[in-house]
Amino acid sequence: MSEQDAKRKRISDLLDAEIEVVKIMDIVKCSRSLVFKVAKMKKDGQGLERKAGSGGHNLKRTPEFLERLEKKTKEDPTKPMNCLFNDFPVDPMTINRAAGEKIRKETYYKVLRYTVLPWLKANYPEGIVWTQDGTPSHTSDLCHKFCTANMAHFWPKDMWPSSLPDLDPLDFAVWGELEKKTNRTPHPNVDALKATIRTEWDNMSEEFLINSCKAFHVVWKVSLKLKEATSSESAHKGPAH
């Protein structure tokens, strides 16, 4: 029996013992989606053994699957992605990834085309340098080709920086600290997550914020020197194209 099969068997036994999902996750050291997957396999009378060739590289994100998923989401846009699990014989993570790759990139593309670009042309007719972070919807071929063709100057995904050059303590310290604390336990819905974020925000110590700002002081000094050096070099070379 493989390690994965043993883990599924252990989850199955704990489900039979009516142990709570959160406790099963802690005991077996597994994801919530795996617990739900085992529960569904038991309900459908399927064996718990992993089939040959069913690894992550064989996830069924085929064109037909993506088309069905898009159709389902359009039928009921208010239906959460995790509720589509029963409509497809795949892992919930597969649905989330597929939604991110197809649906979100198309939404972002529409925002770029119909909102961002007209505003940029109206407010910055001389043009600007457009750069993005590494979010999958941002780096998709659809949006990448649009930016290359329509933005005055565009930094592609393989050009520095790979993330947005925001210089602020929130991005460098506070955000990560909040994520670390709020992700300790699963949340049943968005409202519960928001409540935890607010609680952790209110409980964040003043000492942590002061130390974060002190550490950031060094970061912006180095960044300023790099900016001055880059600006000086660009002045000699002329505008980049």
Q: Quickly list DSSP for 110-168.
A: HHIIIIIHHHHHHH-TT--EE-----HHHHSHHHHHHHHHHSSEE--TTSS-SS-----
Considering the domain architecture, whether residues 170 and 241 belong to the same structural domain is answered as yes
DSSP string, the chain: --HHHHHHHHHHHHHHTT--HHHHHHHHT--HHHHHHHHHHHHTT--SSPPTT-SGGG----HHHHHHHHHHHHH-TTS-GGGGGGGSSS-HHHHHHHIIIIIHHHHHHHHIIIIIHHHHHHH-TT--EE-----HHHHSHHHHHHHHHHSSEE--TTSS-SS-----HIIIIIHHHHHHHHTTS--SSHHHHHHHHHHHHHH--HHHHHHHHHHHHHHHHHHHHHHHHHHHHHHHH----
What is the predicted pLDDT for the residue at 111?
Answer: 87
Residue 56 lies in a domain: no
Q: Which of 149, 165, 181 is the last residue of a domain?
A: 165
Q: Which of 165, 181, 199 is the last residue of a domain?
A: 165
Q: Which of 165, 186, 212 is the last residue of a domain?
A: 165
Residue 172 lies in a domain: yes
What is the predicted pLDDT for the residue at 59?
Answer: 46
Considering the domain architecture, whether residues 21 and 76 belong to the same structural domain is answered as no
C-alpha neighbours within 13 Å on the C-beta side of residue 83: 9
Q: Which residues of the chain have pLDDT under 50?
A: 52-59, 239-241
Residue 38 lies in a domain: yes
Q: Which of 116, 115, 83, 113 is nearest to 99 (CA)?
A: 83
Structurally, how many domains does the chain consist of?
Answer: 4
Give the list of residues 6+ apart from residue 127 with CB closer than 8 angstroms, or none: 151, 152, 153
Residue 57 lies in a domain: no
Residue 54 lies in a domain: no
Chain centroid to Cα 177, Å, comes to 17
Residue 97 lies in a domain: no
Considering the domain architecture, whether residues 10 and 74 belong to the same structural domain is answered as no
What is the predicted pLDDT for the residue at 148?
Answer: 92
**How far apart are alpha carbons 124 and 118 in whole angstroms?**
10
**How far apart are alpha carbons 141 and 135 in whole angstroms?**
12
Considering the domain architecture, whether residues 145 and 200 belong to the same structural domain is answered as no
Task: Convert the pLDDT of each residue in 59-68 to its tens digit.
Answer: 456 667 767 7
Cis peptide before 92 (omega within 30 of 0): no
Considering the domain architecture, whether residues 112 and 128 belong to the same structural domain is answered as yes
Domain that holds residue 33: 1-49
Instruction: Report if pTM > 0.75.
Output: no
Residue 206 lies in a domain: yes
Considering the domain architecture, whether residues 222 and 172 belong to the same structural domain is answered as yes
Considering the domain architecture, whether residues 2 and 28 belong to the same structural domain is answered as yes
Residue 55 lies in a domain: no
Considering the domain architecture, whether residues 189 and 205 belong to the same structural domain is answered as yes
Task: Convert the pLDDT of each residue in 132-146 to its tens digit.
Answer: 877 777 888 888 999
What is the predicted pLDDT for the residue at 28?
Answer: 87
